[in-house]
Copies of this chain bind each other. A is one copy, B any other.
Amino acid sequence: MVDPQDNGRPRSRRLPRAVRERQILDAAVEVFGTRGFHTASMDEISEVAGISKPMLYAYLGAKDELFVACIRREATRLIEAISVAVETGLSPAEQLWRGLRVFFEYVQRNQAGWAVLHRQANVQGEPFVTELAESQERATAVIAVLLAQATEGSAQPMQPEQTEPFAAALVGAGEALVEWWFHHPAHTADGMAMRLMNMVWMGFGDLVEGRSWTPGS
């Protein structure tokens, strides 16, 4: 039986859809992340993914849709990595520290993914900026839950009206620090995590003890 798409490259067939999609997304993130959205070609992505171009379109759609799928996948992976690393049962400080370390380590290991998630998305404008904003909202919601859990047993656990804006600020601070890091690449992931830890924990540390600042204090 001859597959009309067969071009002589070894290609595994009848893989589960999820596996195929992962292969495609891995290839697409790599190509988009290194070439940029405009220069990236569907030809190269299909080549790297080891899948025919018609099948590439069949699975994840045209270039725009594929890029949106990349943004969503990269955000989901990063959020999952942080959630897994932050084990309840540890002290609040230790939980935050683990979350921050995983964040910077993940970014370091997945620079193409970060480029897709941020730089390329911003450079391209819509519809990618909306997808990125939704990813940031998902990250904020997860981190708000983690902050609430982490401070549960504290003298002054964080309330939902605190955790959400704090989570939003933490996401913004983390993203800005990654941009700064790309301009100062000598710093290690742990060094970057330590900076953000010192900035926010030494803050959160006082808050969960019930000490808060008021004007004139």
Contact = CB atoms under 8 A, between A and B. Distances in A.
A200 B198 contact: no
Contacts of A212: 198, 202
Interface size range on A against B: 35 or more
Given A122-B129, A168-B179, 12 more contacts: A93-B213, A123-B126, A162-B195, A165-B184, A168-B180, A172-B174, A172-B179, A173-B176, A200-B203, A201-B213, A202-B202, A202-B204
Interface of A: 93, 97, 122-126, 129, 133, 136, 140, 162, 164-166, 168-177, 179-180, 184, 192, 194-207, 211-215, 217
A204 B213 CA distance: 12
Contacts of A179: 133, 168, 172
Nearest to A166: B199
A159 B125 CA distance: 37
Contacts of A200: 199-200, 203
A202 B213 contact: yes
Nearest to A214: B194
Contact of A203 (B123, B177, B202): B202
Given A172-B176, A174-B172, A176-B172, A206 B205 contact: yes
Contacts of A169: 173-174, 176-177, 180, 195-196, 199
Given A165-B180, A177-B165, A204 B215 contact: no
Contact of A202 (B165, B172, B206): B206
B164 A171 contact: no
Contact of A206 (B165, B171, B196, B206): B206
